[in-house]
Structure 1
Amino acid sequence: ICRFLFPHPLVSESFVTPEGSIRMRRNHQFVNRYNPVIASAIRCNHDVNFTPTSPKVLAAVYYMTNYATK
């Protein structure tokens, strides 16, 4: 079992759940969410995630701030 919970279920169209979570379109079980413009600009692995719907928003903000300023 993968620690990142792959394979992810396929999602044919992006939508918002009744709880307010965003489910992004996914057409491959083993590919991260990514942005084609960012991918072509920085040419490296990245993962696009909308953090305001995450239950650990504050922890993610602290992590990103510490990582960017180390």
Structure 2
Amino acid sequence: MDITVNQQHYQLHAPCSVEQMLSFVHAPAQGIAVAINQTIITKADWPLHALKHGDQVMLIKATQGG
């Protein structure tokens, strides 16, 4: 299964959840938002939301400032 995370291609050998994908791509689970195919996935849904072949994932890091 192929997915794209922040414009980088990854090949996953088994279906996985958003939470599992974050570990696979070594992304921190704190201070980020996740959008899949331009739809925000709430953090509560990360363990349940299964990724599909061809999904476009965007990880958005929170920053401070004004």
> TM-score normalised by the shorter chain: which range applies?
under 0.3
Q: Structure with the greater relative contact order (CA < 8 A, sep ≥ 6): 1 or 2?
A: 2
TM-score computed with the length of structure 1 as normaliser: 0.21
Higher alpha-carbon Rg: 1
TM-score after normalising by structure 2: 0.22
Greater helix proportion: 1
Higher strand share: 2
